[in-house]
Chains A and B, each alone.
Chain A
Amino acid sequence: MGVSWVPGESELRWPWLVVALGVLVAVLLLVWLRVWWRRPPRSAAYVAHATRLRRLPRYRALVRRRALLGGLGSAAALVACAGAILLGGRLQQAQTLERDDVARDIMLCLDASGSTAPWNVDVVQELRDIVEDLEGERIGLTVWNNAAITKFPLTDDYEFVLEQLEQAELAFSGWTDYLATEEYYAYTAGTFVSEFDRQSSLVGDGLVSCVQRFDRPDEDRGRALVLATDGEQRGRGVFSIEEAGAYADDQGVVVHTIANPGEPAEDGDLDELRAAARATGGTYALLGSDGTAEEVVDSIDDLRAARIERPPLRQVVDRNGPGTVVAGIGVGLLLVGWAVEWLVAARGRRPGR
């Protein structure tokens, strides 16, 4: 997630103040010049034949020096004024912050039925691989059998996600034909409602439940669902696989299916799974074939990289730097000019030269 302020146009907060101060400085300059030109001779002493001074080489040197220092001083004063005016006008810069979130949600949707449990270890391992490759997306995990429970909702806390997947791997690896471990039962508790014991591994209902776990329906986000199942249903659920695929497509969810062969004795409805995945624009892969995880990751990457429609953050910052620097340079030059003038004048006054 890149956080960077993009500098925009610099402009003055109070341009009128700059104009007013500029005019004021100009007016003061004019007034001062007028006063300077026609200095009142009051309180002044008259001296005659002062034009003789102009013939002296020292006079010319002094005048040159004075012109130089005076010019420097005037320029410095003007620079200082310009800096002060710039400061007064409050130079501001607008900055925009583009918030570059990856707006994708991925729901992991695991079949927790006994027929799939041994495969789920591999599936979860694949999912961990997937999660490790992801960046910025939100991940959620739902397990289902004839009912679905949320193991964890959509989150971008990958550490937590991996932890949960590890737990899931441990739990699924504890299943055996005869007696599953406590971890397995504890983990899958709630996915099998005994009230409907004739129904289990309801792929259609599980898929719909998973689709319903995507939150923020009004936001335009890329939504992907990784469905791991063997497609082997017992009994009839509310939704068939086809209906569930249509529902997912309707909700804008892309379903990537990782199918497993399931129990060797019975074949799952893999064709229908593939059809459902294709219907939503997702991929279909049979676990155990080469490159499955990569294919799924690539597919997820291929999801429309929907950006979150968050308006760019815009803020206006006073940029005092240029004004301060200009005024500082002016004041500094002025001080240097005065110091040089004072030193030179003091050296000229020193007797015994």
Chain B
Amino acid sequence: MPHLTRVKSRLSIHAHRKVRGLLEGEYAAIHVGRGIDFNDLREYVRGDDVKDIDWKASARSRTLLVKRYVAERKHTVVLAVSTGRTMAAMNDARVAKRDLAVFVAGVVGYLATRHGDLVALVHGDAHRQHARPPGNGELHLERLLGVVHDAIRPSGPPSDLAAVLDYVSRAIRRRTILVVVSDETHVSEPVAASLRRLTAQHEVLFLTIGDLDPTVPGTGHDEPGGRPALRRLVDVDAGDEVPDWLRGDVLLQQEYAALVASEESQLRRRLEQLGVVHERVHDTDSAISAVFRLLERHRHARRR
């Protein structure tokens, strides 16, 4: 289980136990309805709903304990991943967007699996979309991640998030937690329409992955990780090379950075208008905290 192992090792390295539990608490809090059958008590972690604290038990044990219930029914987390060819590009000099997409999907899926929820997958591009039925267990999740990983190819069709979202709204009837993983730079009108429709039915969490800055010059030597240094850049959409002489120009870097920043803020604002919580994943190191912030913001957004 290479994909999930990576997720788990990352979680245990970067987030020690407390933070990991914290993430789980955050995840648990995204459920609207919790079951009524009492299961057991566990130690409070930040993020747990205060309403769940068992004050009497806490007083007895001198630690904060929260009640855990057996969920009334299992929730379904749908990972909607845009697997067009733009996902096959690089996120930064070391990490491919594909790996990052698989990773964040894996983090969310792992949390859901740990919580006993079902995980389903919808992925696709402009040409075709696929769905994997909900399932539980780490093996299932691993398979889903493998599907995502294999679906992303540089020679694949272009990305089309609206098509994927439309497919979700057609294929999934139940209320789910919809985690959208895409690399959109702006919210197009079809995407906005789809999101508007989907937010009525699902809890929509939106994760976007950034792009490699083509104006930054290659380092010229091999990275310590053994990956080759960036030498030539090929636009995955157009198929032609991003010329070398564009890289390293300070003014262009500034203009590009300003463009990316403005696009990101526009995207954020647009998604806020649509009532969709959004988080940008910059790299593997910050991916876990990005997921955490996403869950946190979702909880607050709902409370409002």
Chain A residues within 8 Å of B, Cβ to Cβ: 39, 41, 43-53, 55-59, 62, 66, 345, 348-353
Q: What are 18 inter-chain pairs, A to B, with CB distance below 8 A?
A: A39-B234, A39-B241, A46-B90, A47-B212, A47-B235, A47-B242, A48-B212, A48-B235, A48-B237, A50-B214, A52-B259, A53-B252, A58-B249, A58-B255, A348-B251, A349-B248, A350-B250, A353-B251
Residues of B within 8 A of A48 (CB): 85-89, 97, 183, 211-212, 235-237
Cβ of B190 under 8 Å from chain A: no
- 14 more CB-based (< 8 A) A-B contacts, given A43-B231, A46-B234: A44-B232, A44-B241, A45-B234, A46-B235, A47-B90, A48-B87, A51-B235, A52-B263, A53-B242, A56-B259, A62-B245, A345-B248, A349-B249, A352-B250
Known contacts: A53-B256, A56-B259. The answer to whether A45 contacts B249 by CB under 8 A is: no
Known contacts: A59-B246, A348-B248. The answer to whether A47 contacts B238 by CB under 8 A is: no
Residues of A within 8 A of B228 (CB): 43
Cβ of B15 under 8 Å from chain A: no
Give the nearest-CB partner of B252 in chain A.
A58
User: Which of A39, A55, A62, A350 makes the CB contact (< 8 A) with B246?
Assistant: A62
CB distance from A34 to the nearest CB of B (A): 14
Most buried by B among A48, A62, A349: A48
Give the nearest-CB partner of B84 in chain A.
A48
Give A39 to B231 CA distance when docked, in angstroms.
Answer: 13
The A-B contact count (CB < 8 A) is: 115
Q: Would you call A47 and B211 a contact (CB within 8 A)?
A: yes
Known contacts: A44-B234, A56-B259. The answer to whether A49 contacts B250 by CB under 8 A is: no
Most buried by B among A43, A44, A45, A345: A45
Cβ of B185 under 8 Å from chain A: yes
Cβ of B131 under 8 Å from chain A: no
Q: Which 4 A-B pairs have the closest CB atoms?
A: A48-B86, A48-B89, A348-B249, A46-B89
Give A48 to B251 CA distance when docked, in angstroms.
Answer: 21
Within 8 A of A (CB), among B58-102: 85-90, 97
Give A137 to B129 CA distance when docked, in angstroms.
Answer: 108
Within 8 A of A (CB), among B223-245: 228, 230-243, 245
Q: Would you call B245 and A345 a contact (CB within 8 A)?
A: yes
Residues of A within 8 A of B154 (CB): 41, 46
Known contacts: A47-B90, A47-B242, A50-B242. The answer to whether A56 contacts B252 by CB under 8 A is: yes
Give A345 to B250 CA distance when docked, in angstroms.
Answer: 10
Q: Would you call B231 and A44 a contact (CB within 8 A)?
A: yes
CB distance from B246 to the nearest CB of A (A): 6
Residues of B within 8 A of A49 (CB): 86, 183, 185, 211, 237
Residues of B within 8 A of A352 (CB): 250
Give A14 to B252 CA distance when docked, in angstroms.
Answer: 51
Give A51 to B246 CA distance when docked, in angstroms.
Answer: 13
Cβ of B215 under 8 Å from chain A: yes
Residues of B within 8 A of A58 (CB): 249, 251-252, 255
Give A58 to B253 CA distance when docked, in angstroms.
Answer: 9
Q: Would you call B246 and A46 a contact (CB within 8 A)?
A: no
Q: Would you call B235 and A50 a contact (CB within 8 A)?
A: yes
Give the nearest-CB partner of A52 in chain B.
B259
Q: Would you call B231 and A53 a contact (CB within 8 A)?
A: no
Q: Would you call A57 and B90 a contact (CB within 8 A)?
A: no
Q: Would you call A45 and B230 a contact (CB within 8 A)?
A: yes
Residues of A within 8 A of B217 (CB): 349
Give the nearest-CB partner of B243 in chain A.
A66
User: Which of B183, B237, B239, B250 makes the CB contact (< 8 A) with A349?
Assistant: B250
Give the nearest-CB partner of B258 in chain A.
A56
CB distance from B155 to the nearest CB of A (A): 9
Residues of A within 8 A of B236 (CB): 46-48
Give A176 to B236 CA distance when docked, in angstroms.
Answer: 123
Residues of B within 8 A of A348 (CB): 248-252
Known contacts: A53-B214, A59-B246. The answer to whether A46 contacts B252 by CB under 8 A is: no
Give A56 to B253 CA distance when docked, in angstroms.
Answer: 10
Residues of A within 8 A of B232 (CB): 39, 43-45
Give the nearest-CB partner of B88 in chain A.
A46
Most buried by B among A43, A44, A46, A55: A46
Give the nearest-CB partner of A39 in chain B.
B241
